[in-house]
Homo-oligomer: A and B are copies of this chain.
C-alpha cells in the first residue's frame, strides 16, 4: 500500500464529483504540493512542474491553484513577500492543522502544531464568543507569530 494512499487516491474522485477533469497538469501540481513541506509560490510550483512536463503554462498553475483553494484542498497564504504561497491541507509530510512562525527578516516559515496545552481549547472558546457576539459563522483562523530567527540575529 503506497504511503498517503488515502488522500492521493481521493483527488480524482473529488474532481469528478464536481464534473471536473483530473488532468495531467492538475495531477502534477498536486504531486508537487504533496511532496514538499515548503510554502511554494505559483512560480515555484510552475518551475517544479516544468521539469517533468515542460509544456505546462504558468496560467494553468494559477488557474489550478485557484481551483484547489476553492475546493478546500489547498491553503493560500500571504506572508508579506508580495506573492501568494500555497500549502496542501492534507500533506503527509506536514502536521495537520497548524500555525506559523515567520522570520520578518529572511521570511523563513516554521510550521508548528505542538500547541500549548490550553491553546486549542481557547481558540474554540474565542471562536464561539466571536460567533455569538458578532453573529458570524466562523470558518477558520489565521494565526502567525512574527519574529527574528537565530540566523538573522547572529
Interface positions of A (Cβ within 8 A of B): 76, 78, 80, 101, 103-104, 110, 112, 114-116, 118-119, 122, 125-127, 129-131, 133-150, 153
Contacts and interface: CB of A to CB of B under 8 A. Distances in A.
Contacts of A122: 116, 118-119, 122
Contact of A143 (B138, B139, B143, B150): B143
| Copies of this subunit | 2
Contacts of A145: 126-127, 130, 136, 138, 140-141
Nearest to A128: B116
Contacts of A144: 141-143
Contact of A112 (B116, B130, B137, B148): B130
Contact of A101 (B116, B136, B148, B153): B136
Contact of A135 (B116, B129, B142, B150): B150
Nearest to A151: B135
